[in-house]
Amino acid sequence: MQHRLEPLLRSARLDGPRVGIISTWDVENNAVRILSATLRHAGHHVAEIYFKDWISNSLDPASEEQLQNLMRIIRREELNLVCISIRASAYAEQAKILTERIHEELGLPVLWGGMHPTLMPEECIGYADMVLKGEGELALLELCNHLRDGSDEVWGSGNVWFRRKKEDVVRNGLRPLVQNLDDLQFRDYTTHAHKYFIYGSTYTSGDPMHGDPVYQMMGSRGCIYKCSYCYNSTYKKDVYPGQKWFRVRSPASMVEEIRAARQHWDFKRIRFDDEVFNFQGGWLKDFCERFPRDVGLPFEVFIEPKLVNEERMTMLRDAGLSAVYMGVQSSERVTGHLYDRRVKNQTVADIAELYHRLGIKPHFQLIFDDPVSTEEDKRKLFEMISSFPHPYDLYLFSMTVFPGSELNKKLLANGLISQYDIDGFENTRVFYQHRVNLSYPRPVEDTFWIALTQMLSKPFVPRSMLKVLSKSETLKKHPWPLIQMANATNFVKMGTTCAKMIGDGEMTSTLLRRWASMDRIITI
């Protein structure tokens, strides 16, 4: 709208833009830190604001106190442009509330960016003054440079849509994807005066992740696969067709970032948060030689079953790999039919044996609450997991349908979901059912199988007993005793896990805050 954008153009020409970037319900947000680092490197003033944090299955809306604290920070930093990072579609409604308050109290223009605005820009531009679609670093930098220079080219900033008036929307095209990731700035984890964390009834200064025992970073962008539930499939096919979507950093660049971070942060291990860790031959050899020599810390990766073999995993183990996160999702039939991931049950079982033999701790990820799994599918998933050797953890997720995803299109076309079931402004189910818990109202048969499956990861629960219980028709119809047993075993495992983390010096205030409601977390 003109009455908000024009003052920004005038003030930015005088002093340059003073930018605030808000992370909604996510203190781990990689995007906010690299966007901030990019702008700071170019001399722009940036304030990072981490607005609340992710508490599994217990995300409460913004309170009046929290909104007022946000206004105080914006005033304190004398911002004239506010950007909101919307990592997941369920946050869109809360982003709308934040935007309305910023408009009403401060009259400042607000830009939305992230996954949801990229997938649903037409919807989002109805609430935000600007929408940044796609990759943000160079696009936001271009916008801020145009503002600082007083350039009329500001309205042509790539990736950015402008709502000048109600019916006057400028829709700029996309810049090409960044292909050389080594050219980008490292994420800014330093603790300086222009970082804030709003939580509870107050706010603090500094980076909320600084001091955590785990340093989280990414060595790549995109993914080589096209799983139907993932935003990557939509980005690859509909947003950036014809461009190279999976891109990797050099091992040298990754090591350089870790060295820079260790100058002010004594972390104990590293987790590479890539969608899938890079396994290209020459790159992997370079990484496995360079990492133990130049870093020498244990690390964890996310991996896809099709990429696992003994040679690769042995190389990584010898380089310091201690744990893997691997999506199993569901039974062979459901995984192939619904999620476009074709991996046989036996293959997954063989991989579990390989991890055990190499001494690598696996964290297997499963998806429940889908509309196609039959009784036989649930039993086969249970039987497959029951063959895995301990130790391992299970992460059970409730199926989320992202707008524009292939899963969205497939389920709608077959009449298996309605528009309300798609993540977005009206559907915020992930606020209270993201990681599966047994108190959520679902069919009793599903609760029965979830309770049994989650107990499989507890080595102190006899599998022979669980297999006997799995045949009980009475428990299938009345699973309350099984629920109580599952919750009790979860408390035992959580207790031993916490005790070990305290002993290792890895229990932090962030983890305590996230685990405060143990009854809502059963998937370990």
Rounded to 10°, the helix 92-106/64-76 angle is 60
The secondary structure of residue 435, as a DSSP letter, is B
Amino acid identity at 128: A
Closest alpha carbon to 188 in 39, 79, 297: 39
Give the Å distances, CA to CA, from 385 to 342, 445, 466, 470: 17, 18, 12, 13
Mean predicted lDDT score pLDDT of the chain: 91
Closest alpha carbon to 266 in 211, 321, 188: 211
**Dihedral sign, CA of 435, 441, 443, 444?**
positive
Q: Is the pLDDT of residue 173 over 90?
A: yes
| Residues 381, 352 contacting (CB under 8 angstroms) | no
Kindly report which listed range (5-9, 240-244, 285-289, 397-401) carries the lowest average pLDDT score.
5-9
| 507 contacts: CB under 8 Å, gap ≥ 6 | 498, 501
pLDDT at site 1: 43
pLDDT at site 514: 64
pLDDT tens profile 87-129: 888 889 999 999 999 999 999 999 999 999 999 999 999 999 9
Kindly report which listed range (142-146, 154-158, 487-491, 502-506) carries the lowest average pLDDT score.
502-506
pLDDT at site 518: 52
Q: Which residues pair with 396 in a beta bridge?
A: 366
C-alpha to C-alpha distance for 46 and 264, rounded to whole angstroms: 20
C-alpha to C-alpha distance for 374 and 337, rounded to whole angstroms: 13
The torsion angles phi and psi of 247, rounded to 5 degrees, stand at: -130, 145
C-alpha to C-alpha distance for 351 and 327, rounded to whole angstroms: 12
pLDDT at site 156: 94
| 127 contacts: CB under 8 Å, gap ≥ 6 | 95, 96, 99, 100, 112
C-alpha to C-alpha distance for 197 and 203, rounded to whole angstroms: 5
The secondary structure of residue 63, as a DSSP letter, is P
Count of beta carbons in the 10 Å neighbourhood of residue 390? 12
pLDDT at site 56: 74
pLDDT at site 330: 92
pLDDT at site 476: 95
Burial class (CB in 10 A: 0-12, 13-18, 19+), 242: exposed
Alpha helices (runs of H) in 61-202, residue ranges in sequence order = 64-76, 92-106, 115-119, 121-124, 137-149
Out of 213-217, 293-297, 435-439, the most confident range is 293-297
- Secondary structure E strands in 120-238: 130-132, 160-165, 168-171, 195-199, 202-205, 214-217, 220-221
Q: Is the pLDDT of residue 221 over 80?
A: yes
pLDDT tens profile 436-484: 988 888 999 999 999 999 999 999 999 999 999 999 999 999 999 999 9
What is the mean pLDDT of the segment spanning 303-330? 95
Helix or strand holding residue 492 (H, E):
helix 480-503
Burial 403-437 (b: 16+ CB within 10 A, else e): bbbbbbebbeeeeebeeebbbbbebbbbbbbbbbb
Cα angle at 152 between 149 and 157, to 5 degrees?
85
pLDDT at site 500: 81
C-alpha to C-alpha distance for 40 and 47, rounded to whole angstroms: 10
| 92 contacts: CB under 8 Å, gap ≥ 6 | 86, 116, 120, 124, 424, 425
Helix or strand holding residue 4 (H, E):
helix 2-15
pLDDT at site 128: 95
C-alpha to C-alpha distance for 396 and 385, rounded to whole angstroms: 12
C-alpha to C-alpha distance for 273 and 215, rounded to whole angstroms: 10
Give the Å distances, CA to CA, from 83 to 357, 425, 441: 48, 19, 36
What is the mean pLDDT of the segment spanning 172-185? 96
Cα angle at 437 between 435 and 441, to 5 degrees?
115
Burial 78-88 (b: 16+ CB within 10 A, else e): ebbbbbbbbbb
Domains within the chain, CATH numbers bracketed: 2-196 (3.40.50.280), 212-436 (3.20.20.70), 442-511+519-524 (no CATH)
Kindly report which listed range (145-149, 306-310, 506-510) carries the lowest average pLDDT score.
506-510
- The rounded percent of the chain whose pLDDT value lies above 90 is 70
Cα angle at 134 between 131 and 136, to 5 degrees?
80
What is the mean pLDDT of the segment spanning 122-150? 94
Q: Is the pLDDT of residue 428 over 90?
A: no
- Joined together, the tokens standing for residue 55 give 């508490």
pLDDT at site 508: 74
| Residues 208, 197 contacting (CB under 8 angstroms) | yes
C-alpha to C-alpha distance for 120 and 97, rounded to whole angstroms: 18
What is the mean pLDDT of the segment spanning 411-427? 86
| 373 contacts: CB under 8 Å, gap ≥ 6 | 330, 331, 334
Give the Å distances, CA to CA, from 65 to 52, 198, 207: 12, 10, 21
pLDDT tens profile 354-396: 999 999 999 999 999 999 999 999 999 999 999 999 999 999 9
Amino acid identity at 133: K
Helix or strand holding residue 448 (H, E):
helix 444-455
pLDDT classification of 7: cutoffs 50, 70, 90: confident
